[in-house]
Amino acid sequence: MRQSQRLNCLNWNIRFNDKKILEIMQHKIKYLDHLILYCDGEYDINIARMYINFFKNHFQNLSSLKINILYDNKCTKDFISLVKSKNNLEEFIFDYKSVKWNADKFDDLITNILELRANSITKLVLNNLDFSKISFDYILKCINLEILVLRSNEGLKFEDIDLFTSFNNLKKLDLSFNDWSSEVTTLIIKKAGNNLSSLTIGEEDNKKSINDDTLIALTQYCPNINSLSISGVCNKGFEMIFKYIKNFRLVTLQLYQNKMKGTIMNLEGLLNYIEYEETLSTLGIGINDYYWHYYNYDRDNFKDFLEKHNIRLILYKPRFYY
């Protein structure tokens, strides 16, 4: 750090206490773009506030803020004050990685930051939260939002979402592993609309798997999808999916089964899609697919089939973090 003239990204544990580092950093972080704040255990609230206030006073601009692994909401007002002092925040990531029964502690933090920076945020990632007290309207009011990631959340209800508002320019959407109804997921997809080009979707529990209504909404409201990643589906479910997406001109397709059981190599829908759709260039297969675990005639044939169509094969494993 001493040799660096300027820092663009800083990953800071709010438990940490070293005033000498503050002296070294104060002139190097003036133009900091990305700040990651986290806590991995008990901390002194006064020390944490001192550092957050230090960052607030020494950053000129801040385009990206990530807050994760928090165990309480003692610094909520300090985080809000930090964001309030920076007008150009474009990216906000909040990943609460502790127990779910504490996930509603951060309602005020989330809603205040979204309200303060509704005009500037273009990327929003909210993971492991309880949405029962967080209105989805706060997200919809982020008028310049291009990337939205909602993973492993709960508490969002269909009747609590405004039916008549939509996203203006949403291009990338990730709705994986959320504990809410398929109706909620379908409604959010509808709100994404024509501008959506990338969708990641899936559930850990196959009882909440993608259904016909979800796929119908995708084909009707988001016809310009070119990247599709799907997880938590059995082979039978994948065959259903190919009935709906056969008219998409996908460049990237990634598929992850809900359990290590069988392979998608022989799926008729997949083989037909590759054969007749010339746009596909990348195919991702889940790490639990038999393709990666057995070397046999079928595997060689599938590999040759992909090479014939100039398709790159990659290992796909859904991300549980951002």
Residue type, position 239, single letter: E
Predicted pLDDT of residue 97: 65
Place of tokens 């398709």: 311
Instruction: Examine the pLDDT at 30 and tell me if it is beyond 80.
Output: yes
Spatial CA neighbour of 36 closest among 74, 2, 70, 4: 70
CB atoms within 10 A of CB 108: 15
Structure tokens at 243: 């009935």
The predicted-structure confidence for 122-173, as pLDDT tens digits, reads as follows 999 999 899 998 999 999 999 999 999 999 999 999 999 999 999 999 999 9
Specify which residues 10 forms β-bridges with: 35
- Is the pLDDT confidence value at 102 over 80? no
Least confident of 64-68, 103-107, 281-285, 292-296: 103-107
pLDDT score of 192:
97
Give tens-digit pLDDT for 234-263: 667 788 889 899 889 999 999 988 766 678
SS3 of residue 44 by DSSP: coil
Q: Which amino acid is at 69?
A: I
Residue pair 73/39 in contact by the 8 Å Cβ criterion: no
Which amino acid appears at position 199 of this protein? L
Residue 229 has pLDDT above 90, yes or no: yes
Two structure tokens written together for 178: 């959320």
What is the 3-state composition of the chain as percent helix, strand, coil, each rounded to the nearest 5? 35, 20, 45
CA–CA distance, 292 with 138 (Å, rounded to integer): 43
- Cα–Cα distance between 204 and 256 in angstroms, integer? 10
Q: Token digits for 232?
A: 């938590």
* Single pTM value for the model: 0.92
- What distance in Å separates the CA atoms of residue 301 and residue 298, rounded to the nearest whole number? 5
Looking at residue 237, its pLDDT comes to 78
* pLDDT per position as a tens digit, 262-300: 788 989 999 999 999 889 999 999 988 889 988 888 899
> What is the overall mean pLDDT for the chain?
88
Rounded to whole angstroms, the Cα distance separating 297 from 252 reads: 26
| Residue closest to 156 by CA, chosen among 190, 172, 133, 176 | 133
